[in-house]
Structure 1
Amino acid sequence: MCLNSFKAWKLWKEERWLEFVDESIVSESHASDTMRCINIALLCVQENAADRPTTISMVTMLSSESIPLPEPKHPAYFHVRVTDEEPPSANDVTMSALQGR
């Protein structure tokens, strides 16, 4: 999900958001509705939780086309590191107790 939200946001910023949607499910007549849904979805995954819409405001945005939508900010995502390195090894620790004679 995180990588997809980042990809969607990047396409949104490049004004190529329609590339994120399967062309078999969206037509020109539904493009504005699709764009609105993507905009709202991107608002819901913004990095700063305080910037995300509440459930009530999200329902209002979905049910009324007259409400202007804010521009979504950068989504929260995590960095995935893929390497060819060996997996980390498990290190066992032993404890020794010193006792006098």
Structure 2
Amino acid sequence: MANTERIVGTYGYMAPEYALDGLLSIKSDVFSFGVVLLEMISGKKNTGFFQSKQGSSLLGYAWRLWTENKLLDLMDASLSESCDPNQFFRCAQVSLLCIQDEAGDRPTMSQVLIMLESDTASLPTPKQPTFFMTRDKGLPVSGSSSSKPEGILPTDSSYQQGR
């Protein structure tokens, strides 16, 4: 774990601990990998993603589909004919494990590799990610916001109250 003075990078791919506190660890890259994996399997970009009925970000959309047991709806249409639904589901679940808020809850990259290679290894249940996208220029948003995404903000209530 390292603490940086200046945060540099693309917000849609930054781990929460790095974006908020400048804390960088080996689990920061796991978060970024999870975002990229979600983009690959969905055919959608995390930055600039917005569809009001689907969620405030790609991460939020994927999480909503997970909670509704509709994760296969995340699949890019170009994959639908050639992709094994079980493999897709596994990739999506691994990506959700990678984007968990707490670095300690995320798997290591070696664990990610094992989870993706194995068809039989059971996977833990992911915890809800904290980040979503909004266009409110860095202002925390409430659950009733109809803003379109752009930057990243934590959804944690303590941040919404101006902590």
Establish whether TM, by shorter chain, passes 0.5: yes
Q: Which of these two proteins has the greater Rg computed from alpha carbons?
A: 1
2:59 is the alignment partner of 1:5? yes
Q: 2:111 aligns with which of 36, 57, 68?
A: 57
Output the amino acid matched with 1:46: Q
Please state whether the residue corresponding to 1:36 is helix, strand or coil.
helix
Q: Percent identity?
A: 34
CA distance in 1, matches of 2:77, 2:94: 20
2:80 is the alignment partner of 1:21? no
Q: Would you say the 8 A contact 1:44–1:52 is kept in 2?
A: yes
Q: Would you say the 8 A contact 1:48–1:76 is kept in 2?
A: no
2:130 is the alignment partner of 1:76? yes
The number of equivalent residue pairs is 83
Normalising to structure 2: TM-score of the pair? 0.46
Could you list the runs of 4 or more consecutive aligned residues of structure 1 that deviate by over 4 angstroms after TM superposition?
none
Q: Identify the residue that residue 67 of structure 1 maps to in structure 2.
A: 121
Unaligned runs of 5+ in 1: 84-101
CA distance in 1, matches of 2:130, 2:82: 30
CA distance in 1, matches of 2:72, 2:95: 14
Q: Would you say the 8 A contact 1:46–1:52 is kept in 2?
A: yes
CA RMSD across the alignment? 2.2
- Give the C-alpha shift of residue 24 in structure 1: 3.2
Unaligned runs of 5+ in 2: 1-45, 48-56, 137-146, 149-163
- Give the C-alpha shift of residue 65 in structure 1: 1.2
Normalising to structure 1: TM-score of the pair? 0.71
- Give the C-alpha shift of residue 29 in structure 1: 6.4
